[in-house]
Chains A and B, each alone.
Chain A
Amino acid sequence: MANDPDAIPFEVREYLEAQQRKRLLRFIACGSVDDGKSSLIGRLLYDAKTLFEDHLETLQRESRRAGSTGDALDFARLLDGLTAEREQGITIDVAYRFFATEKRKFIVADTPGHEQYTRNMVTGASTADAALILVDARKGLLTQTRRHSFIVSLLGIRDVALAINKMDLVDYSERRFAEIRDEYLEFARHIGIGNVACLPISAINGDNVVDRSARTAWYHGPTLLEYLESVEVDEDRMQRIPFRLPVQWVNRANADFRGFAGLIASGALRLGDPVRVGPAGTQSAVTRILDGDRDVPVAVAGQSVTVCLRDEVDVSRGDVLSHPDSPPAVADEFEATVVWMHEQPMLRGRSYVMKIATKTVAATVMPLKYKINVNTLERLAATRLEINEIGVCDLELDRSIAFDPYEENRTTGAFILIDRMTHQTVGAGMLRFALRRSQNVHWQALDVNKVARARLKGHEPCVLWFTGLSGAGKSTIANLLEKRLHARGQHTYLLDGDNVRHGLNKDLGFTDADRVENIRRVAEVAKLMVDAGLIVLVSFISPFSSERRMARALFADGEFLEVFVDTPLSVAEGRDVKGLYRKARQGQLRNFTGIDSPYEAPESPEIRVETTAVSAEEAAVVILGELERRGILAGA
């Protein structure tokens, strides 16, 4: 790097040892759009003399040609590495840069200020130890400044530097600086950020970045680099808290070797230590610790190890190893804080894939408690969470997991939510505490059960879930099928969308949230009926795959048969038996499936009926055959 050659220790071994002792600080730059984050980081890299000559030359060339800074260097261009970013002069995604000084090593994440890209800011913040929050001295605190500060505090970042930037545009006014500082300190206190340092900065001129500025003689605090070199790096804390090893992978190298591989999230482990496997609660003791290919007597937080145990206990990916006297909690229902990151809102009743440490489970969103207005910190009642919103909700998992509150452990308390259909990461969250509700309402075990009831009926109970567009022919086919089943002496029930909406679900409309709830209730009713031993026919448009999947998850394997009544939109609309398509086209009906609300066709239904190829009667016969083939009905 373009350092002064004389300043470099020439004895390489000595140098390497010094390097080894250097601490690493990871920090982010965040704040509202255009407040100068990228410019400041660029300036910092430049003033700290960490730029290569060829990069500098490129910067000079580009600044002259396309920069926004006239003759001066446009430092933001060092960070904004994507073509679209340089064209628009904004940051879209996080840039990670690496630099070192005599005292420390740094990884900085320069994040976008634009609200649209908040998810990328969250990405950068999740791995940071400290945050540099920028404010434009002319504009003061903006909504994004507060949103970013709030996210920083939620993620547990304790040290914040407020860089009051563009001081050159307010004549380096101490009064203006103090105004913004006081307002921010007040806000920071409310959101629980303890350590705030405020610095008067001009990224363009380099005031108080690396060199102390003569233009702010009234300021006696540290320069930005001094701050970064001295802010506390709290890596020891992770070693002091209880031991957690989320198991990533089971290493079965040979018949004699069974090791559990993972990154130690916290605490320390030594040979002979007793361990507990969560959530099961089984115990054993450590017989080997492998750090790579070396046997070691002890390992600590931050190391990737492979651990062997004394007993043949059942351990698989997703389990958490701990010490028996300080185990993680075990639960299947939580209160959590969620940051939503996708255009499709988070809906109550919807089921998502949840990844927490190395465990993957299904999580259903229970009532949303509230969302938070990031400006006023008010708690607002809400039924859904839109993109970039932050809220608190209950989550119900399909099984119990071992966890810690995020406040206590960043690894075993953090999770992401993944959409089941698109596989996008749609939310990020932090577990607050377990809800004891499920433990209080005990499940009533009954002696006469599903198997016993089904035996009387002479068939296997199941649900046939008919999905398809309005007018596709679901009800017609379901009706014909039920008649045939009835004629054979089978016990059936048909749940029809229109009919259920007149009674059980008459309080629900057609918004996305109501559609989810509609399906949830019907699925639960169908489940009770299957439990009663019936063959249940459900005829519902059920346009979203995630709800159909949620319904499917309620049933045992082989009990849920998805029947896709496949009719092209043009054909269904052409039939328009109920005149609904016409109304929808005229705008008299809103949220109509196929017109202004999507229909997500099943990817692999158990049964698919193309109504353009077979008649309704033929379809019923085909389904009957399929039920025989699957052993649900005895052959005729």
Chain B
Amino acid sequence: MEIPKQLIPLEDTPGEFVINVGPQHPSTHGVLHLRIKLDGEKILEIEPHLGYIHRGIEKISESLGYRQSIYLTSRMDYLSAHMNNQACSLLVEKGLQIEVPDRAKAIRILMVELQRLASHQLWWGSAGLDMGAVSPFFFAFREREQILEIFEETCGTRLTMNYITPGGVMNDLHPDFVKKVKALIKQFKVNIHEYDKLLTGNIIFQKRTQNVGFLPRDLAISLGASGPVARASGISCDIRKLHPYDGYEKLDFSEIVMDKGDSFTRYLVRIEEMKQSMHIIDQLIDNIPEGDYRARVKGIIRLPEGEYYQRVETARGELGVFVVSDGNKTPYRIKYRTPNFSNLGALQYIAKDSKIGDLVAIMATLDLIIPDIDR
């Protein structure tokens, strides 16, 4: 792996020209800015530019209490809001040595897996959209909308939930929760076949993604890629398996690892992960333990002096939270290791020498969430 030393200059040279993709571009899903050097349709160099939606979440957190900074994490990877909250809550629980009630653990896993489903559904839709198929987007939103409605009933919000808090969850499940989730899973088990009909099996889609954007195994390791991106390159990195939390160790599910490493494999990994998520929900939905949904935690949290690290598996990979505490009610330093930032690093290596159309396909299968890159 060679690290590019120089930034791409803006001037065109004969035979090559430089274009700016983004920050406002239909396929960057946000405000990612790429500067690309092109030779006709061929990409010679790519350079991501960050900073357009840097909100300084880490710095703001240093002046907010622990409870207050958790809500900020929902705004990082907004499609994995539950997971982000969960990571911080787990960290606080670790620091305060709080035992989370079993019911809360089960609710957390249910919510997180629903969120993973919703996130992958949106990714599927937008992957289709990026490759020019508009209809999948709406089919994906059909089930996602139902999941969001389930969230809305229990958590009160659809996107930035702030539902998982230190000690458990914010409030108890809505009475209809179990019924609705069951109906949703039943429906989605049928409708996931439409995904195959529209994209997976489609010859154009296959030709667009197969043998495009190879991410070799060692490059993925050295870039710190995680989540479906790394798993498609043959790296076993599911935190739910490797460092189980919240009772994942008791559940039966398999980690999807494939080793071809091209765009289509990344696509398949996510489709299979959706099936695994449904499998996890199936196991839990009938066995939610009775009891408290939250352990008592003091209003103002003070972590004992020391350093803490907690990792969870979000829909896009490993999220790590690192906190240095000096015993005060605000963290001394907080650092998020977000999956998308590392996964974005792969882009400039794997999209090199491919066509502009491939770049879009690669970005779609990397599933980048820009606010997570620029915290």
Query: Is B a genuine binding partner of A?
Result: no
